[in-house]
Amino acid sequence: MKNSAVKLAGNMKNMPKDMPTTLGALKESGYTPSSVKDELRRNLIEKIATKAPVFEGVLGYEHSVFPEVERALLSRHNINFLGLRGQAKTRMARQLTKLLDPFVPAVEGSPINDDPLNPISKYAKDKIERERDDTPVVWISREERYSEKLATPDVTVADLIGDTDPIKAANLKLDYADERVIHFGLIPRAHRGIFVINELPDLQPRIQVALFNILQEGDIQIRGFKLRLNPDVMFVFTANPEDYTNRGAIITPLKDRIQSQILTHYPKSTEISAAITRQEAKLTDAQRERVTVPELVGDLVEEIAVAARSSEFVDQKSGVSARLTISAYENLVSAAERRILMNGEKSGRARIGDLLGIVPAVTGKVELVYEGEQEGPKEVALGLLSKALRAKFSQYFPDPELVKKKKNEPNPYAVILQWFGKNELELRAELNEKDHRKALLSVPGLQKLAGKYNPGAGEAEETLMMEFVLHGLAEHSLLGKNILDEGLTFSDLFSSVFSMDDFEEGDYGS
């Protein structure tokens, strides 16, 4: 097939409709081979020049991780992403395929996608020698040029590199000395593509040794054969620092052969974390229409992760994945949705009380140290929620700790606290919107306080702030809060010890 009128840029970057289907036509088209790292570099340069994003859907790395990745690719380096769980390491590795050309030619039938103009396997070389310019050419997409393997202790050298295949030898009636009996492993089959090994430290040290030669010299050797293949592979590894000490380690000679090690990190602000959570949360269209999550409630979910990452009960070496907030957010929406459905309402808003529904998401996402195990997963989760409420409360209302110190100034919470000296408020989880607001309005001074520090708020926002006041006072030990199966009750924390007569209106709680 003649295609001389078409000049191909690099590796068929803009694939014409009439693709060369034979080696002869490919030669006439002007195609020239290019290594995969040169290909990645070339396409990255174009993206940088046009200010097009390299990674999509990965937030918070714009000025830290992304520049390091780009520098590594421009240097044509193999990469190791080193970071705690849930830091988008694998997602970034998978998105590197966007820097590959849409299609590249390969020798038809080749087990390792041989380049027709630069074959490396015996199969491709023999076929081209026999058929010459009539050798059939196929086109492989960028998605087909990506391979990924999760490192596990049972991975073998044969899995990664290859070995002899007795079944092939028997079927083809070949001697074991014949190279055609070789079964290629994952790395040779990733020739001209990207190969990712996740959780690299979990590979046994002797298996890691098998990677030395290919990373340094660029070739592989299969036992029993003299041949040396030189696969063209871009290697990307991911690793968790915890693995260096707990489950395994990247052996030093292998680390030395990986040119760029890039450190990932958790979001540096709750705003970025919240954006990630909302982006990744898997909600149905019905849930999005039915449930509104106020900004405050969503921020409290993020604060729980912040609290977990500094908690003495949580193993900080293991990390706290972004999946915690994503799962928690999904549970929060479902808790509100369940209440809405039970009350026959069309829509509603998530409440602070609904945060009790995220406890299962938290307990399943944190690794506890010994003290945390003694405390209990549920109690640790509730403790993290308490820390989040306490940290956020002072951003909306006067800090009760500072109020206590200002003995000569009126206490803004005095009326509310005095009422709880003789009364108790029950906020059942299944209360509808109307009854929930009615219950909060029954507390004297609560509505006035919410309006004073959040002027201009609508009714729904005002209701949320009234509820927030009760939770905030409870977390600052000015009210008692009991968690029941049916919901929450708020009462006077000190009524069993002190009489209300012991306190003046201006210094209650001091």
Residue 66: what pLDDT? 97
Q: Where are the alpha helices (DSSP H) in 355-413?
A: 359-363, 370-375, 377-393, 400-405
Using one digit for the tens of pLDDT, what is the confidence trace for 3-52? 333 334 444 444 556 789 999 999 998 889 999 999 999 999 999 999 99
Residue 17's pLDDT is what? 63
Q: Are 469 and 450 in contact (CB under 8 A)?
A: yes
- Res 485: pLDDT: 84
466 token code pair: 């009234």
Q: What is the CA radius of gyration of the chain?
A: 31
Is pLDDT above 80 for 310? yes
Average pLDDT of the chain is 87
Per the model's pLDDT, the better-predicted residue between 406 and 60 turns out to be 60
User: Taking 90 as the threshold, does the pLDDT of residue 154 lie above it?
Assistant: no
pLDDT of residue 12: 46
Which residues 6+ apart lie within 8 Å of 141 measured at CB?
A: 102, 103
**Which whole number is the average pLDDT over 202-231?**
79
Q: How many residues in the chain?
A: 510
Distances (CA, A) of 385 to 169, 275, 328, 354: 63, 20, 11, 12
DSSP 96: G
Among 193-202, 381-390, 396-405, 431-440, the range scoring the smallest mean pLDDT is 396-405
Is the per-residue pLDDT at 171 higher than 80?
no
**Average pLDDT of the segment spanning 185-214:** 90
User: How much is the pLDDT for 408?
Assistant: 78
What percent of the chain lies above the pLDDT cut of 90? 65
Burial environment of residue 436 by CB neighbours within 10 A (0 to 12, 13 to 18, 19 or more):
buried
Instruction: Using pLDDT thresholds of 50, 70 and 90, give the confidence band for residue 474.
Output: very high
pLDDT in tens, 418-461: 999 899 999 999 999 999 999 999 999 999 999 999 898 899 99
The pTM of the full predicted model, rounded to 2 decimals, is 0.81
Across the range 179-184, mean pLDDT stands at 74
d(CA 86, CA 271): 17
Q: Express each pLDDT in 346-365 by its tens digit.
A: 999 999 999 999 999 999 88
What is the per-residue pLDDT for 497?
Answer: 38
3-class DSSP assignment, residue 436: helix
Mean pLDDT within 205-222: 81
**pLDDT of 494 higher than 80:** no
- Overall average pLDDT of the 90-104 stretch: 95
